[in-house]
Chains A and B, each alone.
Chain A
Amino acid sequence: MENWQIVWEARDSLISGLFTTIEIFLIGSVLAFLLGCLVVYLLEQAGPWLRRALRVAIDLMRTLPFLIFAYLLYYGLPSLGVRLDAWTAGLIALVIYHGAYFAEMLRGARLVMPAGGVEAARACGFHGFTLFRRILLPQLLIRVRPLIGNQLIYCLKDTAFLTIITVNELTAAANSIQAIYFIPMEAFVAVIGLYWMVSIVIELLVKWAGRFGRKRGFDHV
């Protein structure tokens, strides 16, 4: 039991790691989500060339391991003269990488969405961003809601990779505790519990958001 005692005494560093994780996860996932929406809007408006370029960019991100991308931004960019601190590099990596996933998710929902609603909107004089924001996006979001929950949890878990580019988040805190006291089991189990708790909160929030869809008869999707 003494090992758990050590973990308890090191709780300050775990808590500060947890806050860094939550902070970078929240900012990162919100920006990634907005980026995904922006990309889908551009796909909607763009000519064939930009559309192709965006599709390639999305696919490139999706086939890239997240860790490599984070490495590239933090260790690779300085050779091009761009020097980012670890936190910023990590945040940008999260935003672009998960933004691509959000975009792909919304794009998929757009493809299977019946054409009639958008047509009716055009007939009423809607166009451009207003059409996207008022008519298209709300329906897409209701449809992809369960996938969003999944993606948020992937995003949370990917923040753990950022320990490797020296962001002092939760995994980094656990790592330093286990390295100092050599209690890897207890340190990592404690951290798993904390990740788990954050995931449960995400799940509950996403489930709660589901009532917007249920009220509107979207339960079957």
Chain B
Amino acid sequence: MSEVPVVSLEGVSKSFNGVEVLRDIHLEVARGEVVSVLGASGSGKSTMLRCINWLEQPDRGTVKINGEHIGVDAQGKQMSVRALASLRARTGMVFQSFNLWPHLTVLQNVIEAPVHVKRIPRSRAVEEALALLDKVGMGHKRDAYPYTLSGGQKQRVAIARALAMAPEVLLFDEPTSALDPELVGEVLAVMRALSLDGYTMVVVTHEMEFARAVSDQVVFLDKGKLIERAPPERFFTAPESERVQRFLATHR
């Protein structure tokens, strides 16, 4: 474990209007690792994920991407908008509600950030985007606008969009929660393939089967505290905390 973790949260705390949603979170994600984040609604899972790319600003604690401070530097000074943006570009995020840009086609959605943030040549961006769209099985829809797609298709495009920035870590915020049950499988299949490709992933999810089959580590949040971290086998068969046992009993 001498390698620098891709994501590290140290002592991260956050309150909304006086309500503590994250309390002293410590989390490290190693390169190539898939970490599933479980917990009841309102346990702070999404907020924790959003702290990783600073879409939510923690009140205390430090967040590092590949050893580099994000949001505030080592001295606690707020970093510039530009510096923050370029760090964020090294993470890829997939949202529950897809959040595709409706004015752009599927292909344009995928090349938008590579061309206008990373400033790579358009022709190269298109080439890479088409390969990614094929990878998520959406190559045939390259010229479609998002409103014509199903939820599962939108989410697969959103995954391709996140991949297009060649991120060091992929952050999934309940990627299947807004999908019709029969569409969940196609998205999970793509995510499973990514894990096999060696992507580093943090996945906030309610999909127990996925967490069990795909992740290297499962962490559990309860009322803003990270109370359990274990490999999936142990997490699902012999959890230490009584809270996790109760959670698993109701989610089987």
Chain A positions near chain B (C-beta within 8 angstroms): 114, 116-117, 119-128, 130, 134-135, 138-139, 142, 215-218
Contact = CB atoms under 8 A, between A and B. Distances in A.
A130 B88 contact: no
A116 B88 CA distance: 16
A120 B99 contact: yes
B88 A215 contact: no
Interface string B142-166: 0001111000000000100110010
The listed residue with most A CB atoms (<10 A of its CB), out of B117, B118, B165, is B117
A120 B102 CA distance: 12
A120 B93 contact: yes
Contacts, number: 83
Contact of A142 (B55, B97, B103, B113): B103
B209 to A, nearest CB: 27
A127 B101 contact: no
Interface in B135-187: 145-148, 158, 161-162, 165, 171
Contacts of B88: 122-125
Contacts of A139: 101-103
A128 B117 CA distance: 11
Contacts of B116: 126, 130, 134
A216 B118 CA distance: 26
Interface in B111-140: 112-113, 116-118
Nearest to A142: B103
B102 A218 contact: yes
The listed residue with most A CB atoms (<10 A of its CB), out of B97, B146, B171, is B97
Contacts of B158: 120
B117 A130 contact: yes
A116 B95 contact: yes
Given A124-B117, A125-B88, A217-B147, A134 B102 contact: no
A144 to B, nearest CB: 13
Contacts of A217: 102, 145-148
Given A127-B85, A217-B145, A217-B147, A121 B55 contact: no
Contacts of A134: 112, 116
B99 A138 contact: no
